[in-house]
Amino acid sequence: MRMETDQLIRTLAADNAHRARPVGFVLALALLLAAPVSIVIFMTELGVRPDVMTAMRNPFFDLKFVVTLALAISAIAISLHLSRPEASLRGWAWLLLIPIALLVAGIGGEMMMMPQRPPMMTRMIGRNAWNCLTSIPLMALPLLAAALIGLRHGAPTRPALAGALAGLLSAGLAATLYASHCTDDSPLFVATWYTIAAALVAAIGALAGPRVLRF
Amino acid sequence: MREREDEWTGLMRSAISGDDAAYHRLLKAVTPVLRAAARRGLTRAGQPADQSEDIVQDILLAVHLKRHTWDANAPFAPWLFAIARNKLIDALRRRGRRVFVNIDDFAETLPGEPAAETAPAGEVEAQLNSLPARQRDVLQSIAVDSASIKDTAKKFAMSEGAVRVALHRGLASLTARLRGQ
């Protein structure tokens, strides 16, 4: 059977009534469906730290959540923007400076507010570095898959970049879970190990992007 | 040029608010521009320019299936050209060529450009036959036999809703198959 372009156009016009869901809706739905998987990994492998009630009085414990959520929200906003074909990073990349600025402020705050702080290297290395490097990517993977499914519903013309942002958003969400488990609260620890973990997930997203985000 | 693009934006807005005729007019209006750009891309990649029709159909399908990513407050042309450029690069890559496609290739096209000789498209057609029977029947009825949704429903003893679903699924799976080839 033949399909001339005029015939195709007529057929597309006949389908004009079909309305697709907004990308944001599909992304949110996919993340909500994947979240229980990450939460189960968290509950079975990690769990909330036992001294959480005391920890909550420590501003550096609270700061971890502010930083990870800032990363997740900025990355969600940018990836939704990148799901439009004509989009570029211009005017949007600065959003990623928010979590970085918060961390820098935290590092400065720790130096000023805690005169009896342990030495820098001790705070940076902490006690959970390896756990942080493995748990965050592990819990991020189901969310990354969901984020890629959500973005597939869009039309990203820079798929590696969009994939990297999907990685950052899932790492931000996974790190939010992880932060409630980890007893290392120093912003120096967060700036080092959380960042490496997030970069790892972003790299996986960037590799997956061109394969799964083509349309 | 400016006027033409404003007209497209207006037509697309009407289309989204449910005006099928405006959508039809818009697709008709952009097709020669897409075709000219595809021919230019093919020529630059050292490929026969008369193979442009497959690319044009590919772009039209993507425009249709991704139109929810267009922001109705933004001009339509940059969105269209971004989709078209992406599809053109993809098509040239599939033919084994890496070329730089300039966005101006699309914008430069003059409306009065004469129609060039073009070989009929074959890729969409080839994939049509691999669709599930119901989707193929509905697509055939609407595309080839020019039947309306209503008449198609009657012919296959389906509800109009079911015809619409089969039509949309058919277009979506066509696109998925073109991508997978």
ipTM of this predicted structure: 0.89
Decide if A103 contacts A187 (C-beta within 8 A).
yes
Residue found by looking up tokens 């989204």 in the block: B16
Instruction: Tell me the average pLDDT across A73-87.
Output: 97
CB contact under 8 A, A85 and B79: yes
**What are A69's two structure tokens?**
């959520």
Domain contains B117? no
CB B144 to CB A7 under 8 A? Answer: yes
Tell me, yes or no, whether B79 and B29 share the same domain: yes
Asked whether B124 and B131 are in contact (CB, 8 A), the reply is no
Band of pLDDT at residue A140, cut at 50, 70 and 90: very high
Q: Quick one: B36 and B80 in the same domain? A: yes
**B154 and B102, same domain (yes or no):** no
Per the structure, how many domains does chain A have?
1
Q: A168 vs chain B: nearest CA distance in angstroms? A: 22
* Residue A3 included in any domain: no
**Enclosing domain of residue A109:** 22-212
Contact A208, A159 (CB under 8 A): no
Query: Which pLDDT band holds residue B157 (cuts at 50, 70, 90)?
Result: very high
In a domain, A183, yes or no: yes
In this prediction, residues B158-163 reach a mean pLDDT of 94
C-alpha B5/C-alpha B62 separation (Å) is 19
Rounded Cα distance between A11 and A16, Å, is 9
Nearest residue in chain B measured CA to CA from A155: B66
What backbone phi and psi angles, to 5 degrees, belong to A126?
60, -155
Contact A84 B70 (CB under 8 A): yes
Q: Are B20 and B95 within one domain?
A: yes
Neighbouring CB atoms inside 10 A of B53's CB total 22
Percent of residues, chain A, with pLDDT higher than 90: 85
Check whether residue B107 and residue B45 sit in a common domain: yes
Q: In terms of domains, do B47 and B98 share one?
A: yes
- Please choose, from the candidates A209, A85, A13, the residue with its C-alpha nearest in 3D space to the C-alpha of residue B61: A13
For B118, residues 6+ apart whose C-beta sits below 8 A from its C-beta are: B35, B39, B50, B52, B53
Q: Does A7 fall in a domain?
A: no
Q: Are residues B78 and B148 in the same domain?
A: no
B89 shares its domain with B175: no
Q: Residue B144: pLDDT above 80?
A: yes
